[in-house]
Amino acid sequence: MDFKLLASAFVSVFVAELGDKTQLATLSMAAGGQSKLAVFIGAALALCATSAIAVLAGGLVSRYVSPIWLRRIAGGVFIVLGVWFLLARESV
C-alpha cells in the first residue's frame, strides 16, 4: 500500500471537509437528533459512498486522459472557481 498517497488523500479530504456545508448539516442533525451514532454512521457511509464514486470515476477517466492532464484540468477548475467565488463575494 502507498502510505504517502493514503496520507495525502486523508489530509486533502479532511481539510476540504472541515467547515463545509455537509459538515454543518451533520452538526445540525447531531445537535437536534436523539442518536448521535445514527448521524455518525449515516454521514460516514455517505462520505464513503461519494468517495467510492470519485475513485471509480477517476479510474474510468484515467483510461482516456493522462494523470498529468487530469491534475492540470483539476487545478484549472479550482483556479476558475476560486476567482469566480472571489468576484461573486465582492459583488454581494
**pLDDT digits 0-9 by tens, 53-63:** 999 998 999 89
Please give the model's pTM, rounded to 2 decimal places.
0.68
How many Å apart are CA 84 and CA 52, to the nearest integer? Answer: 28
pLDDT tens track for 38-52: 999 999 999 999 999
Q: Which three cell numbers stand for residue 83?
A: 476567482
Q: How many helices (H) and strands (E) does the chain have?
A: 4, 0
DSSP code of residue 20 = S
